[in-house]
Chains A and B, each alone.
Chain A
């Protein structure tokens, strides 16, 4: 019979390695609109030829905005990433880069506007994913990222991916048990502002395809609001500015009119009733943090139901659309052999 005390004790680190060396590895890729690209994987390999652990993954997305305006664009929902460590999938296909970690601060998205010689808008976005458990990478192996530009934004995006790691000394034995992170995501269809719409995820979106439980680190919930020409893509609608500037907010298109319900594969409620989006994915972190022992059962999935009410009135610069992104981030334990 499971005991109460063990039920809520947080999981412990399986091992500790002394005498490690910090290591930061970075690779870049340039992705044109509606295409995909990889990185120079040599740059992400431990140059000392020793095993290492990855503690944190960072994505930096840089692009140039549309000239002649001070319009900003959020890229996290337009640039997707797929990660593999040898035969082990770290992501369920391509996952939006902003669906790995929680929202750290408003400085996640930074826009610099130069005025001379002509107005240029430089957009920088950084998304940080602190792994739920350090990821052991054997000597000679590489965690390979591949990026995809969905084509909703016509400009090319430069991507930097950085692994913050620690390198092990020569002769360090491999761990007996590995913890492999895993991210699965669902992207809803786009909803036009003036319409009442619903959507739901499929059995292959928020899925645990493994024969072991998936320990949940967090659910991430992001909302994107954009114009039809994607000259503006925001996450949270900005305050109204002067007419014609394009940065127009819309409360009915914003998160308040989005509602979410989630059930597991047996129909049992995870989010019990339709609930405002930001009550599920907390506004201050854009996520629902776990780290409390919550798991997804082996070979199971979660269905997310989205519902959006129609916006009212007329908005300058429309039509406007919105789209939801939900991911489950966690880890599975691998103890010798194949656990697939």
Chain B
């Protein structure tokens, strides 16, 4: 593989590692808090809205912490596509695949908006 590709891969993987780390920390923190509290696991928890999560994080609510962890995890593939796209564009000078990556990224971002339609 070309030097540029290898370096780009390293950066992407480092970003994924960082993202995964944050995700894991939030999830463990949330789970620990959940176990310590007497919340029942019988209850079905719905995913919280973003505003609720931000409020929840400030009050260190267990479910908000776990949800934040999951949302970060859900972001990691997006980061990967973004990273690959930038790598194609800037490092490998491959505009065709940069465009394809942009296409995939657009579809992913669109998926965020679909439920609002």
- Are A and B co-members of a single complex? no
A residues touching B (Cβ–Cβ < 8 Å)? none
